[in-house]
Amino acid sequence: MRKFLLVLVAVFPLSLMAQRWHITGFGGISNYQGDMQEKRITTNQAHGAFGLGAQYDLSGHVSVKGGLMYGTISGDDKFNKQEDLRKRNLNFTSRLLEGNLMAEFRLFDLDEKRLTPYVFAGIAVFGYDPYTYDTLGNKHYLQPYGTEGQGLSTYPDRKPYNRVQVALPFGGGIKFRLNDQVTLGYEIGLRKTFTDYLDDLSKSYVDYNTLLAEKGPVAVELAYRGDELKDGNPLYPADGTTRGGEKVKDWYYFQGITIGYRLFGGRNEFRGGAKGSGRQLDCPRNIF
């Protein structure tokens, strides 16, 4: 009997800690803001996205959470309002895979209230790889072509951009408790990046002959595509002509529905059982 009570005392705190863990899911859309998408938040050119993660409650108001997010971003000059940018005729698509670690703050404790707004922030690492299709429908990943002179000896200050980057995620939303185990929510999460090349577009055009000699005709074709338009300019822009806006870095974001499932059932121990499922969670007294 004494051994049983010792095991009970050891396991009891672990069961309480287990109630703090949640499995989380996300389903919604992903999009980006950059040289081919001027609006910060829009559903125009958005794509489906999903995520999976875990959350640990430090208290009734604060949690730490981490997970993986997968989505797609794209941009196309044909949707641009500015005529000169439409005539540039560039486009891209990229898959995104993100791993993140964040802190979440809820205004209300969901063990006391059924609804609460919340905010979150943290750090993330993501991978991307922009690509496009030529006039024959062939798919080309853009980074190796150095469309703005990246990696060319003539432009030593332009290095190939890394396709794995760090981002700062932050955002907010609202959560609704369906029962003691399940919550539903809606959130918007922005990602501040430190690159201007999510869309393979940032600075200026480089010399036609230099790009042709070092990277080949496909690189030239994908660097400027105005000649593909019926009324487009067939002449490749002069070296140094503005191609993108390098002063502002690119962003990407997710928005959609979240779901959380508390492991091992019941409300957690922060309420001490007073407003939980009705079961008293006080430790047994005088067991020895």
Query: Which residue type is seen at 163?
Result: R
**Which pLDDT score is estimated for 267?**
63
Lowest mean pLDDT among 11-25, 76-90, 207-221: 11-25
Listed residue (91, 23, 95, 30) closest to 57, CA to CA: 23
Number of CB atoms found within 10 A of residue 108's CB: 16
How many whole angstroms separate alpha carbon 8 and alpha carbon 245? 64
How many whole angstroms separate alpha carbon 82 and alpha carbon 223? 19
Read off the pLDDT of residues 220-257 as tens digits, 9 standing for 90 and up. 999 999 999 988 899 999 999 999 988 899 999 999 99
Listed residue (258, 256, 273, 266) closest to 23, CA to CA: 258
**Which pLDDT score is estimated for 276?**
42
Residue 222 tokens read as: 């994908």
What value does the mean pLDDT take over residues 169-174?
Answer: 98
Domains of the chain: 2-7+21-271 (2.40.160.20)
**Which pLDDT score is estimated for 255?**
97
**Which pLDDT score is estimated for 40?**
84
| CA dihedral sign of residues 282, 283, 287, 288 | negative
Asked if the model's pLDDT at residue 39 lies above 70, the reply is: yes
What value does the mean pLDDT take over residues 141-151?
Answer: 96
Read off the pLDDT of residues 102-134 as tens digits, 9 standing for 90 and up. 999 999 999 999 999 999 999 999 999 999 999
| 3-state secondary structure labels for all residues of the chain | CHHHHHHHHHHHHHHHHHCCEEEEEEEEEEEEEECCECCCCCCCCCEEEEEEEEEEECCCCEEEEEEEEEEEEEEEHHHCCCHHHHCCCCEEEEEEEEEEEEEEEECCCCCCCCEEEEEEEEEEEEEECCEEECCCCCEEECHHHCCCCCCCCCCCCCCCCCCEEEEEEEEEEEEEECCCCEEEEEEEEEEEECCCCCCCCCCECCCHHHHHHHHCHHHHHHHCCHHHCCCCCCCCCCCCCECCCCCCCCEEEEEEEEEEEECCCCCCHHHCCCCCCCCCCCCCCCCC
- The answer to whether the beta carbons of residues 92 and 36 sit under 8 Å apart is yes
Read off the pLDDT of residues 44-59 as tens digits, 9 standing for 90 and up. 999 999 999 999 999 9
Kindly report the pTM of this predicted structure: 0.85
| CA dihedral sign of residues 253, 256, 259, 260 | positive
Query: What's the start-to-end Cα distance of the chain, in Å?
Result: 10
